[in-house]
Amino acid sequence: DTEVTQTPKHLVMGMTNKKSLKCEQHMGHRAMYWYKQKAKKPPELMFVYSYEKLSINESVPSRFSPECPNSSLLNLHLHALQPEDSALYLCASSSRGGNTEAFFGQGTRLTVV
Amino acid sequence: AQSVTQLGSHVSVSEGALVLLRCNYSSSVPPYLFWYVQYPNQGLQLLLKYTSAATLVKGINGFEAEFKKSETSFHLTKPSAHMSDAAEYFCAVSDRAGNQFYFGTGTSLTVIP
């Protein structure tokens, strides 16, 4: 199984809503990532979890709150988002070590209204 | 710091023609380099990776890339373009620990019938 599964695929939320994005992998990877991607742009790193601990937070606003309940799951909790937060949110995982690739999920297309 | 630069944000080729997508890296140590492809509204899929085992790397879908240290380049090629190759292509480099993947700005490939 080389898949990273993200749910939901599409999400529309109001600025006062609370929602969560979910990501799951069963490859035994100990590094998991959240990326944000705007149209026609490369993915921007948001968070990195290494061995279920937050290791990198790229100065992301607090309205985005990551959580790693176990080595297979990664969540991104959303609250009080702005329309400019509308984007494709990608989850990825990789083995530790620089010579290993990141495996990406299909993404969640988020629209904030 | 690691980084990659992709020259040409848009490339158009005729079906059956050579595909050449350019990527140059900046790294003070031997890098780990990757090429990813992204189809509309999907996640990123690994095409190939360079991990210093061989300078000519073969990937999926007939793509290959050659690592040239003297030119600090890792250009992606395919001898004969197919309509299904139309997509966004990202070059990426990882840090030595695999904590982060740094993406180039991407090249949009159009294949003309």
> What is the Rg, in whole angstroms, of the alpha carbon atoms belonging to chain A?
13
Calculate how close chain A gets to B96, using CA atoms only, in Å: 4
Contacts of residue A99, defined as CB under 8 A and 6 or more positions apart, other chains included, come to B32, B49, B51, B52, B94, B98
Closest Cα in chain A to B2: A98
What number of other Cβ atoms are within 10 A of residue B48's Cβ? 19
Residue among B42, B52, B94 minimizing CB distance to A106: B42
- The reported pLDDT for the residue numbered B98 is 67
Q: Which of A9, A49, A50, A101 to mutate to test the interface with B (most CBs of B within 10 A)?
A: A101
**Other beta carbons within 10 Å of B5:** 14
Q: Are B78 and B62 in contact (CB under 8 A)?
A: yes
Are the Cβ atoms of A56 and B108 closer than 8 angstroms?
no
- Comparing B52 with A93, the larger pLDDT belongs to A93
Torsion over CA: A34, B74, B41, A87 (sign): positive
* pLDDT attached to residue B45: 96
pLDDT at site A69: 95
Strand order in the sheet with A18-25: A4-7, A18-25, A73-79, A64-70
pLDDT tens, position by position, A81-94: 999 999 999 999 99
Q: Is the pLDDT of residue B62 over 80?
A: yes
Distance from C-alpha of A48 to C-alpha of A23, rounded to nearest angstrom:
13
Identity at B98, one-letter amino acid code: G
Name the more confident of B42 and A86: A86
On the question of pLDDT at B48 being above 90, the answer is yes
| CB spacing of A42 vs B42 below 8 angstroms | no
Taking only the tens place, the pLDDT of each residue in B14-39 is 999 999 999 999 877 778 899 999 99
Closest Cα of chain A to B60: distance in Å?
A: 14
Task: Give the separation between CA A21 and CA B40, rounded to whole angstroms.
Answer: 20
Identify which of B42, B88, B98 has the shortest CB distance to residue A94. B98
Inter-residue contact B50 to B21 (CB < 8 Å): no
Task: With beta carbons less than 8 A apart as the criterion, state whether B15 and B113 touch.
Answer: yes
Residue type, B58: K
Higher pLDDT, B70 or A97: B70
Q: Other C-beta atoms within 10 Å of A63: how many? A: 14
Q: Characterize A69-95 residue by residue with b for buried, 16 or more Cβ atoms within 10 angstroms of its Cβ, and e for exposed.
A: eebbebbbebeebeeebbbbbbbbbbe
d(CA B90, CA B85): 13
Q: Grade residue B73 by pLDDT with cuts at 50, 70 and 90.
A: very high
> In terms of DSSP bridges, do strands B32-38 and B3-5 run parallel, antiparallel, or are they unpaired?
unpaired
Per-residue confidence band for A56, with pLDDT thresholds at 50, 70 and 90: confident
